[in-house]
Amino acid sequence: MLEHTKRDNITLAELAYANELAISGRDKATIDAFLDKILGAMQATVKTGLAAPTSTLPGPIKLKTKAGDVFKNAMKEPLPARRGIGVLSAAALAGSEENARGHLVITAPTGGSAGVMPAVIYSLGPDGAKKSQQKLREALLAGAIVGYLCKHNATLSAAEGGCQAEIGVASGMGGAAIAAAHDDPPQISANAAGAALEHHLGMTCDPVAGFVQIPCIERCAFGAVKAWTGYLIARNEVSANRRVDIDSVITALAQTAKDMNPKYKETSEAGLAQSLVLC
Ligand code: SF4
């Protein structure tokens, strides 16, 4: 894909648009309308989750929600960096808590990672970096390319690859999306995505009591923050010097998925699902 963008001097989003136009036969206005629907749903789930009063989530864990509290307190932080990370984390908690309530589920790429991309889009939109709607569309398309590559060359399924395939891929999608929204070249998107995914490799899936709550809800916040970290490292290094390319990371994801002990593949037989005692 990078070779295509180089050869035709186009962005990742332009490549994705060309693919959508050719495959679906729809016009750009129709594709944009669908992208806007997804972007709207992502922003809505964050806003609903942030506004929801603290409550207890369904299921035996009796986990309290916290997106609203984290958001309110983050907004009072005097230091911009603390406020930014706090608000981004709250947005991811909000999206994931909405999933856990059985409300809107944003599968980008999966239900377990429902908070990551919505938080990234929220952080790029009117309440964050204030990127235009067109830039948000381009961000979503760049993120979709990363999800596509992971789906077709590795896996998006925790039952096959553990949490690296869910939160890891979502974080990689987020890294590419942030770079695209900032008009960075495709190589920065690739490097940001690769960095974010790289640092989730090996992550297991061990949902407590089989519910997508612990560790999933907080893990979405970490995935969103790592998307930004991946972007900021990629943006601020000499991109040609990056030693680990995204193809190698996706290959490692596929290989690690094959080697991972089945106990860590969404079975709730090990890890936190075993060590955390529910009273
Ligand atoms: S721990 Fe398992 S269920 Fe939870 S987000 Fe990760 S992959 Fe999904």
CA distances from 256 to 101, 130, 247 (A): 32, 38, 14
**Averaged over 249-258, what is the pLDDT?**
98
- Asked if residue 133 is part of any domain, the answer here is yes
> Which of 97, 107, 156, 212 has most ligand 1 atoms within 8 Å of CB, for mutation?
212
- Asked if residue 10 is part of any domain, the answer here is no
CA of 140 to the centre of ligand 1 (A): 22
Cα–Cα distance, 111 to 150 (Å, whole number): 16
**Averaged over 131-154, what is the pLDDT?**
98
- Asked if residue 117 is part of any domain, the answer here is yes
* Structural domain boundaries, residue 238: 22-275
Q: What's the pLDDT band for 28 if we cut at 50, 70, 90?
A: very high
Across the strands, what pairs with 64? 56
Residue 279 in this model has a pLDDT that exceeds 90: no
Question: Please, what is the average pLDDT of the chain?
Answer: 97
Phi, psi of 57 (to 5 degrees): -75, 155
CA of 206 to the centre of ligand 1 (A): 7
Residue 107 in this model has a pLDDT that exceeds 90: yes
**R_g of the chain, CA atoms, integer Å:** 18
Query: Number of folded domains in the chain?
Result: 1
Closest atom of ligand 1 to CA, residue 166: 7
Rounded to 10 degrees, the C-alpha dihedral 226/230/236/237 comes to 140
- Asked if residue 233 is part of any domain, the answer here is yes
Per-residue pLDDT tens for 33-65? 999 999 999 999 999 999 999 999 999 999 999
- Asked if residue 167 is part of any domain, the answer here is yes
- Asked if residue 45 is part of any domain, the answer here is yes
